Each structure stands twice: as C-alpha cells, then as structure tokens.
Amino acid sequence: MERGYQKNNDETSRLGDGVTGSDGAGALRGIRVLDLSENLAGPFCAQILGDLGADVMKVERPGGDPARAWGPPFDGGDAVLFLAANRNKRGCELDLRTESGAAQLWEMIDESDVFVQSFRPGVIERLGFGADPVRARNPRIIYCSISAYGTRGPLRDAAGYDPLLQAFSGLMSVTGENDGEPVRLGSSPVDMGAGMWLAIGVLAALRERESTGLGRRLDVSLLGAALNWMGYHFLGLQASGRTPERHGTAFPSIAPYESFETMDGRLMIAAANDSLFCELCAVLQRPDLVSDSRYASNALRVANRVELRDAIARAVGTWSTAALTDALLAAGVPCSPIQDAREAFVHPQTAATGLLVDLPGSATPGLKVIALPIEWDGEIVPVRSGVPGSSVSGDEQ
C-alpha cells in the first residue's frame, strides 16, 4: 500500500518538509526523486540528493527494503544500516507486479526528475520500468541504474555486494598485514562510493538538462567504484611490473608513514616529506637518522624502510601515546592515535565538526547520524526528517 505520497502540483508540496533556500538543504529545491533502489549503494545516492533538498520518495517492495533486516543492531524495527542511508525521504510500498501498483508508479514517474533503481539486471525491464519506456514517458527524467559488474562483459548479469567487489577488484589483496590474509575494509566503500559517483552524475545531468530540456540514462557499477579506488595501485603495477602487496598500516610509496607501538597504544605517524622527517627525528632525539645517507630522501627511506622502521619503533616505544602525540603535533608532524569507534565517536574534535546530528523519529533517544559532510557557507546541512516507515517498522511517514 502506498504511504506518504500525494499527487499535488502545488510547488510547496514538491519541496519536502522544511526545505528552504538558505542552506544546503535547499540546493535541490523542487527536484523530485523516485528511489526504487535497495540495500546501500542506491539508497545512499538518493539520501545525498535528499540531504541537498530533493523531495525523495522511497518506493519499497511489499515487506520493505531487505536492508531493514540487516541487523542487529536495530533501532526499533529497522537495522541501523538502513537508517544510515535513508533519511530525508518519504516512503511508500508498491507491488509493481500488480496493475494498481504499476499505475501508481507511472503517476509518480510523470512528476519526477530522477529515477534510481538497483534491481538485478533484467528485473526492472520485466516489471515494465526499464530505461526506454520510462524515458519515453518522461523525456526530462534522469534514469539511474546501479549494477554489480556494469552493463557489459561476461559478468554483466551477475549479482554482487560490496565485499564481493572488494575481493574481485583487488582491494582486499592490498588490505591487511603482509604476512596475513587479505582483509575486507571495515566499512562499505564500494557501495558508498558507487552512490557518491551516481549522485555526482545526477547533479551534472540536472545541470545539463537546464539547457537541453532532456534527461539522461546514467549507469554506475560497484565494480567501477571499486576499480576507481584501486587507481594508483593499477598505475604502479604497470609502471613497475610488480603486483601491489599488503603493507598493514604502512604506505608503499612513503616512509615513515605507518603506525608504531607506544608504551600504551599505537600511533599513526605520517612524515611525508624531508622536512617532516627531520622534525620527527628531532622529537624522537634521533638526529643521526637525518644525517644517515640511507635516509636522505623519501625514495631512499622507502628502499631502506625495514631498518628505518626498526629505529623509529625503538624510539617511539619509550613514549606514551598521549605524550608523543602532543610533542609531534607541536612540531607540526602529522600523527594520530589509532582509535576504536567509541573513542572516535566521543572525541571532542568529532563533536566540533557538527556532523553528529539527531535522527528525527528514531526509536533510540538521542540517536546521532553523520550529516552530509559538506559545510554550506559555514553551516552543516541540516537533517530534515528520518527514514520512511514500512510494514517492517510499523511506523508511517
């Protein structure tokens, strides 16, 4: 059953609740987005557009987006992963296999500017809402699709999720300790990256439409996003002929640029040029490292990284994390303690960014989400509304 959508040509209804032109939440004022996507990549794209003021209608299958059940942890009836990608949206449930459900979607298509879908290849076409019929019905619409492996090639019809594309693209092969197993990145950079690229494409297509009056078909794949994160690794492979390896916290092209064990923790140190290396050695009271010809340039430090790392590790190990952090920052040497999620969440600097904002309608009092990480004339773009309700959560919006 449809929830939250009212066909209305009045301009005020097209803006979404609380949208003004005074901040980033008004940037896409008047733009209507139909979000038929599920899981993370597509919803993350639509959330970005919603954060910027678009009126986003999330259209879910009967029973809701499967990501609502991707828990624990949950907030009320919805998994927190769902909450992280679906704020600033209205919602409805439609069974597109029925005549009435399809008719309602066509009505929404007539009034929409952007259409986002992430069904497995061929599914949306079988439902009758492929790019050709939708664009024929509404030539101004920007039709967006997210797939796992892209629109061509032997795997074009395969389904996929973030960790599968981390594995396929080589991301896992360069993540983890050198003598350990390949490791999945602890967040979802492939899904979120694909969503970000698609949002960028939508913004460009909207700009183009101002002069042409016509929409575009945009296709983004998880594989494309994953390969993009591997860009300099692929360049290095071609330039050197060597397959990139895992280096733990280190970076293969800069030294010292990794974490070191202190008396009570671990500190990430990034002495990325000669000047910073000199300052690091001064704080560690190791001027001999600066005068050592083996470490006279970054290229030499990389070539002799094992010996250099051992020397720096011995010096770092005599300091507490807090004391060395203070000393290095005072000297202008970039560094950071390796924090867990709780430590990062409660750190005063995190609070100072203003990015931790309340999620309206949350079942957990004071639940914070990360706002759009763009300051708009010095202000964080506000979160106007929470996630749309469904039969899963029992809340209507």
- Spatial neighbors of 273 by CB under 8 A, at least 6 apart, are 298
Helices (H) and strands (E) in the chain, counts: 17, 15
DSSP 8-state secondary structure symbol assigned to residue 98: S
191 is catalytic: yes
CB-count burial class (<10 Å; 0-12, 13-18, 19+) for 101: buried
Distances, alpha carbon 3 to alpha carbons 9, 64, 66, in Å: 18, 12, 18
Distances, alpha carbon 158 to alpha carbons 54, 153, 219, 393, in Å: 31, 10, 15, 31
Which of 78, 60, 61 lies closest to 69, judged by CA? 78
Q: Which of 55, 191, 264, 395 is catalytic?
A: 191
At position 244, the amino acid (one-letter code) is: P
Distance in angstroms (rounded) separating the CA atoms of residues 62 and 38: 13
Catalytic residues: 191
